Amino acid sequence: AQSVTQLGSHVSVSEGALVLLRCNYSSSVPPYLFWYVQYPNQGLQLLLKYTTGATLVKGINGFEAEFKKSETSFHLTKPSAHMSDAAEYFCAVSVAAGNKLTFGGGTRVLVKP
């Protein structure tokens, strides 16, 4: 069975500072990895995903994540936070195309002016 751990349920960053959200996964087979964002009163929107190939994945809104198999990690970064990045971010893993997503607990990001 797969699992996901997100370190830090809340992260506070200053506008313009680096955003780093940590995600570690456990999977018995090569994983598919995802980051979703949830803005207040909205559904989950895909930021980026890793399936195969290049381990550095670029997504929407300037976010990127790097798959590190040796560390079983898929941390999400953005070089410069914007006020509009305030949201909750979820890391998720799947073990096959079409299979269920297993989510981490989420990290709520607060951006200070």
Partner 1 sequence: EPEVTQTPSHQVTQMGQEVILRCVPISNHLYFYWYRQILGQKVEFLVSFYNNEISEKSEIFDDQFSVERPDGSNFTLKIRSTKLEDSAMYFCASSTQTSLSTDTQYFGPGTRLTVL
Tell me, residue by residue from 34 to 73, as one string, x for binding to partner 1 by CB under 8 A and - for no binding: x-x----xxxxxx--x-xx---------------------
The yes or no reply on residue 102 touching partner 1 (CB under 8 A) is: yes
Partners of 92 in beta bridges: 34, 103
CA dist list (Å): 52 to 24, 30, 44, 66, 69: 17, 9, 23, 12, 12
Tell me, residue by residue from 70 to 99, as one string, x for binding to partner 1 by CB under 8 A and - for no binding: --------------------x-x-x--xxx
The yes or no reply on residue 103 touching partner 1 (CB under 8 A) is: yes
Q: Which is nearer to partner 1, 8 or 103 (CB)?
A: 103
Q: Which is nearer to partner 1, 12 or 51 (CB)?
A: 51
Q: Which helix (H) or strand (E) holds 34?
A: strand 32-38
Question: Tokens 């096959």 identify what position?
Answer: 96
**What would the two tokens of residue 60 be?**
């929407």
Q: Which helix (H) or strand (E) holds 19?
A: strand 19-26
Q: How far is the CB of 18 from partner 1 (least distance, A)?
A: 26
